[in-house]
């Protein structure tokens, strides 16, 4: 835009038309922003109603709860409900790709030991009551962006699929 030498040049129809189009574009943009905020409220960009996932194995021995949409370096959780099937030891494994991408910060309760295998990590817990249900919580802080998937299972049993998307 060149220099304006006379204020009346501002009444130029082309400039006014530009202004009107700009206003229209802004209104549309506001609408889009409102939709984005509503989507965020519902949980499309992180925790929220649409983000919560609950999945279980066919025999119901393992149930997992997590958020489908998580964010890079933003704390989140993988909650497991386990119905042990005898024995004082509970062995839960997570696939290697999931352990590497999810950035496990802490496991509550703390496992007695962790065994690293070529494609899975096994967390060993000692049970006080071998028949009662147990909750185990993995506190995560995803360290990879994009799709993050893997499996969680009780050793020797069926596993559940975990599928998440990590926003930047």
**How near is the Cβ of 103 to other proteins at its closest, in Å?**
11
Quickly list DSSP for 73-99: T--EEEEEEE---SSSEEEEEEEHHHH
Residue (40 or 56) nearer to other proteins, CB: 40
Pairing, β 52-56 against β 69-71: unpaired
Residue (45 or 151) nearer to other proteins, CB: 45
Residue (78 or 159) nearer to other proteins, CB: 78
In whole angstroms, how far apart are CA 77 and each of 65, 139, 164? Answer: 8, 5, 12
The length of the chain in residues reads 168
| Binding-site ranges for other proteins (CB under 8 A) | 30, 33-34, 36-37, 40-43, 45-49, 71-75, 167-168
Residue (103 or 111) nearer to other proteins, CB: 103
**How near is the Cβ of 41 to other proteins at its closest, in Å?**
5
**How near is the Cβ of 28 to other proteins at its closest, in Å?**
13
Residue (73 or 88) nearer to other proteins, CB: 73
**How near is the Cβ of 116 to other proteins at its closest, in Å?**
27
Cα–Cα dist 142/166, whole Å: 7
Burial of 134 (0-12, 13-18, 19+ CB in 10 A): middle
* DSSP assignment letter at 100: H
**How near is the Cβ of 148 to other proteins at its closest, in Å?**
14
């Amino acid at each position: 835009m060149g220099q304006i030498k006379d204020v009346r040049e501002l009444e130029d129809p082309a400039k006014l038309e530009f202004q009107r189009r700009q206003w229209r574009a802004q209104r549309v943009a506001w609408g889009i922003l409102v939709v984005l905020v509503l989507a965020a409220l519902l949980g499309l960009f992180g925790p929220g109603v649409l983000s919560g996932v609950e999945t279980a194995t066919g025999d119901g021995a393992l149930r997992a709860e997590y958020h489908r949409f998580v964010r890079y370096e933003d704390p989140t959780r993988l909650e497991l409900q386990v119905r042990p099937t005898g024995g004082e030891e509970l062995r839960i494994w997570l696939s290697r790709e999931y352990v590497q991408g999810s950035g496990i910060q802490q496991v509550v309760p703390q496992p007695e030991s962790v065994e690293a295998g070529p494609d899975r990590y096994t967390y060993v817990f000692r049970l006080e009551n071998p028949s009662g249900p147990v909750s185990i919580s993995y506190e995560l802080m995803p360290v990879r962006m994009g799709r993050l998937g893997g499996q969680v299972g009780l050793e020797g049993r069926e596993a559940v699929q975990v599928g998440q998307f990590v926003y930047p």
